[in-house]
Amino acid sequence: MTVNLKPFSKSDIKYVYDVEYGILADRTWMAFNGPYFRDPIPTWHEFQQKMPELIDNAYHRLIWYNDRIVGEVSAHWIDGKLQHWLEVGIIIYQKSDWGKGIASIALKIWLAELFSQHEKLPHIGLTTWSGNIGMIRVSEKVGFVHEGTIRSVRYWQGAYYDSVKYGVLRAEFA
């Protein structure tokens, strides 16, 4: 199994749209990636408009598995311009690619890149919700530590769920 992270490029845009939202998408990932926000599915035109900000962006990478794009990783600063509190995210687009260890490998690679890129950064976080059991398992498998639970704040399909916070320290990451 070969898992790599590569920057978004212009030549990837159409395929990424198709597999994430378009004709190749099963969209199962959307039921677990903060569905309570009710983000709309972008049109091809809307997707094209946001792509320039992702191309060669240091905080977004495509996940390649055996020479095909299967997902993406991202990072953003929780504290904005202060840049002391970084959080990561990950999406594996197709349900058929879940459970293969791709997310765990990709997330480890991503954490290593980010810790290398930010030599003084002691902590990287990840936030999910209690309805996303797969993300909880991946987080713990990679070495994230459960740092907190904000109970009953995510409302989805008639029920409240917890927001779950994870983090890993540079000293803990191997």
pLDDT in tens, 8-45: 999 999 999 999 999 999 999 999 999 999 999 999 99
The confidence band for 140, taking pLDDT boundaries of 50, 70 and 90, is very high
Best CATH choice for the domain 3-169 from the list 2.40.50.100, 3.40.50.2300, 2.40.50.140, 3.40.630.30? 3.40.630.30
Domain ranges (residues) in the chain: 3-169
Q: What Å distances lie between residue 154 and 36, 77, 165, CA to CA?
A: 7, 22, 13
Closest to 135 in 3D by CA, of 166, 170, 158, 161: 166
pLDDT in tens, 37-68: 999 999 999 999 998 899 989 999 999 999 99
